[in-house]
Structure 1
Amino acid sequence: MAFLATALIYAAVGQAGASGYIAIMGLAGFAPLAMKTTALSLNLLVAGIGTALFLRAGRLSWRNVWPFAVLGFPFSMLGGAVHLSENVYFPVVGAVLILSALQMARTAFMGKAAGSDAPATPPFAAALVTGAIIGFVSGTTGTGGGVFLAPIILTMNWGTARQTAATTAVYNLINSFAALIGAYAAWDHIPSSLPAWLVAVAAGGTIGAYIGSRFLSDRWLRGILSFLLVMSGIKLIW
């Protein structure tokens, strides 16, 4: 049930839930390699569902996606092959999530009202660099990348919250696939319970992506995501 609820809430804001899955497994005492490979596997499925539903709802702009993905894919694969020790893994992932949460909260509650400025198209060079850096970090940590990319897109006004949700859903799909390939040497650490967890996150992800692609307001999308990020970060650090 924890994985199902996590997938539902994250999918509503265009995320696949890797940071949430990592937090759950961290509390349950899983080893970093098991957490990383399992989170990427679950992330891949939920991101695929989210991408399909956002595409069907007409929310997806490929022009906003592919510049981030061009270098995001190979760098995620490189990151997937890097395995951090437990003492490094938890603090690094937790700190980055909390910083991202603070920035997301600022854009949700202290920034300009949604729609007050027309969003700009992401500059190609900046999107390439951003995609590469986030790709490597997310591949190394097993977080998929969307939780890092979303605050940047919103801060730079490269898309509305709903467009950002659609963009990060695709980015999560691409980067999770690449990072999982890069981490092939650790596949034997994936728990035997993974099939049951895949069913749970598929159900939660489908419901969440449907809600997020059609009903939630921009401010609610940002607020929910900021709360999820900070809670995940705190759990990983402590």
Structure 2
Amino acid sequence: MPLEYLPFIFFFIALFYSSVGFGGGSSYLAILSLVLTDFYEIRSTALILNIFVVTIGTLVFIKNGVLKLKLIWPFFVLSIPLAYLGAVIKLSQTTFFLILGGALVMAGFFMILKFLQNKIQTQEFSNPKKIILGGSIGLLSGISGIGGGIFLSPVLHLLNWANPRIIASLASIFILVNSLAGLIGLNMAGTFHVNYDLIVKLIVAVVFGGSLGSYLSNKRFNLKFLGFLTAMLILYVGLRLVLSHGFDIHV
């Protein structure tokens, strides 16, 4: 895939993900893993793009009064330091792509479960449960370069924690703080690598896509079918990475 196509592709990724409170990190990683070979550059680029997209979404949620800090603060107690720790860990290329592939498979699976779930009554979690769940996903987000919202949001939907708008607002700020922590960790570990010519073009693309997606989210635009297709793409790329780097099977 030529690099010239990436800004157009990433515009639509940001458009969809921002509409449901995500940054798009899993799809950025999936696409970048097909066109780039430096896995540190892949992680760094995905985290930067995450930050730009979810910053827009977080501001929209704050403006509309959706963000409920008293409900969500426990999720960040362990997620921020563990996201930093995960990013500091230096991995071999094979190990990284296996972890990334496994994370993408789980992300795609959780997304499909989320789309298939029917609405039922919500329930509140204890603070220790929020802390443990946030910390576990924070560690995975730091290691893989995914902000973590794509894991956290479907899990909360499946466990019936709160209404979709509150979960989307939590996912947005969760991705933001964990992506920042991960980026700091990469920089401290000396593994922050980016192609500045490419990253500027991608930032412009995701900012426009993220802004439009946040607007559509506020208008409750239905992107469920596109989300299902995105989940299938994530599953495919995740399986492809696991098979190629774990079993030397190329599909």
Report the TM-score, using the length of structure 1 for normalisation.
Answer: 0.89
Residue equivalent to 2:89: 82
AA at the equivalent of 1:206: S
Q: Is the aligned partner of 1:159 residue 2:166?
A: no
Match of 2:247 in 1: none
Match of 1:23 in 2: 30
How many angstroms apart in 2 are the aligned matches of 1:231 and 1:83? 27
Task: Please list the CA deviations of residues 29-63 of structure 1 after superposition, one character each: whole Å capped at 9, or x if unmatched.
Answer: 33210000110011111111110112222222212
CA RMSD of aligned residues (A): 1.9
- Among residues 126, 131, 137, which one is paired with 1:123 in the alignment? 126
Between the aligned partners of 1:230 and 1:89, the Cα distance in structure 2 is 21
Structure 2 distance, partners of 1:169, 1:154, is 15
Deviation (angstroms), 1:227: 4.0
Q: Per chain length, whose mean CA-contact separation is higher, i.e. which structure has more relative contact order (CA < 8 Å, sep 6+)?
A: 1
Gaps in structure 2 of 5+ consecutive residues: 1-7, 241-251
Residues 44, 172 of structure 1: 8 Å contact kept: yes
Give, in whole Å, the separation in 1 of the partners of 2:26 and 2:151: 11
**Does the 8 Å CA contact 2:26/2:107 hold for their aligned counterparts?**
no
Instruction: Tell whether the 8 Å contact from 2:56 to 2:210 is kept in structure 1 after alignment.
Output: yes
CA distance in 1, matches of 2:172, 2:97: 24
Task: State the 1:100 CA deviation.
Answer: 3.7
CA distance, structure 1, for counterparts of residue 205 and residue 214 of structure 2: 14
Task: Say yes or no: does 1:102 pair with 2:132.
Answer: no
**Are the structure 2 counterparts of residues 199 and 162 from structure 1 closer, same or farther at C-alpha, using a change threshold of 3 Å?**
same
Residue 195 of structure 2 is matched in structure 1 by 191
Alpha-carbon shift at residue 134 of structure 1 (Å): 0.7
Taking the aligned partners of 2:40 and 2:54, their CA distance within structure 1 comes to: 21
* 2:104–2:238 contact (8 Å) kept in structure 1: no
Q: Is the 8 A contact 1:65 1:171 kept in 2?
A: no
Residues matched between the structures, number: 230
Structure 2 match to 1:214: 219
- How far apart, in 1, do the equivalents of 2:19 and 2:83 lie? 24
| Counterpart in the other structure of 2:178 | 175
Alignment counterpart, residue 79 of structure 2, candidates 55, 72, 78: 72
Q: 2:58 maps to which residue? A: 51
1:180-212 Cα offsets, whole Å, 9 max, x none, are 00110122x211221221111111111112212
Structure 2 CA distance, aligned partners of 1:6 and 1:19? 10
Runs of 4+ in 1 over 3 A off after TM superposition: 223-227
1:95–1:233 CA contact under 8 A, matched in 2: no
Residues 138 and 178, structure 2, Cα contact 8 Å, conserved in 1: yes
Deviation of the 1:225 alpha carbon: 4.4
- Letter aligned with residue 204 of structure 1: G
Q: What letter corresponds to residue 129 of structure 2 in structure 1?
A: A
Q: Distance in 1 between matches of 2:209 and 2:195?
A: 20
User: How far did residue 161 of structure 1 move?
Assistant: 2.4
